[in-house]
Amino acid sequence: MGSTERLDHLDSQILMHLHRDGRSSYTALAALCGVSEGTIRKRMQRLEDRGVVKIVGVTNPAKTGMDTMAVIWLRVERGRLSEVVSQITALPQPHYVAYTTGAADIVAIVTVESQEALVKFLARDLGSIEGLTETETSMVLRVYKQAYDWSPWPHQSPQFAAQEEASEEQLDEVDLKIIRYLQKDGRMTFVTIADELGITESTVRRRVTSLLERDILKIAAIINPARVGRTTLAMIGIKVERPRLGDVARTLASMTDVRYLALSTGKYDLIIEVVQESNEKLLYFLVDTLEDIPGILRTDTHLLLKLSKESYDWGVAKGVCVAG
């Protein structure tokens, strides 16, 4: 999953500040870290070149009409695993695909615009792939913690307020083009985007500010766990006593080891992705940490052997775009 990068105190400081604001200027970061702007530029270039962090725009699926998500567990005929993974990875709907051990050979997470679109994906797209022998779908009811928000340092846990119904926002073609540029490079300058689109810098700045303020877009500093010493990944399905579901979710969300946490249907109540330094540390997490959480009835662990796809571009529903 990649070699480990040795981070010094300044590297860690830069990453922590970027985690709060991915578009922090070099000048602001230099002031926060107490070093020169030139030093910040060099450090950030090194961190990005070595794959420690990438800064991208991430859309809010609830605001862009892409709010139907599912975790899909797949079994494959012997000898056809790589072939099937390649075909699933090439599909636009899955944004996360991994080889895994345990009851499933592959785990995939998909984001689509409706349950009807999910049914079509399962029946048409997956159904056309030869070598798949079994699929099991866990609908995601709520995501409590996202992989793109993860950092290897303790930070404020997600607030579990009552979930409000998020209304879809209207976006025009200019908004969509700006989003696509920022999905490639979250720090792309407004001047560059303006030149590419043939509009003014002030228009781009106003549009981006609006997208951020309306919670349609977030600029995320995505840290690669493997590059900071977390080379062991696992997806864990958890069955929980219903009265304690909220308490268990809060406890898991507060853990630095947990990178992804979702409430789901199917045989699991919660699905988490865990990042650890080694198999030994993962074993400790399973037999000590999870065992000590009241309310957990059963866990199924799927060790992730290799990530084939991890993307944060889950698209925009057709009905969201209006003529601009």
- pLDDT at position 314 is 87
- pLDDT at position 322 is 67
CA-to-CA separations, 94 to 89, 110, 297, 310, in angstroms, rounded: 7, 4, 30, 9
Domain ranges of the chain: 1-50, 68-151+225-310
Give per-residue pLDDT as tens, 278-309.
Answer: 999 999 999 999 999 999 999 999 999 999 99
Q: How do strand 217-223 and strand 171-172 relate by DSSP bridges?
A: unpaired
Regions of the chain with pLDDT less than 50: 1
Q: What is the pTM of this model?
A: 0.91
Structurally, what CATH architecture does the domain formed by 68-151+225-310 represent?
2-Layer Sandwich (3.30)
- pLDDT at position 160 is 61
Q: Measured between alpha carbons, how far is 82 from 308 in angstroms, rounded to an integer?
A: 10
Class of domain 1-50: mainly alpha
- pLDDT at position 158 is 57
- pLDDT at position 170 is 85
From the CB of residue 110, how many other CB atoms can be counted at a distance below 10 Å? 26
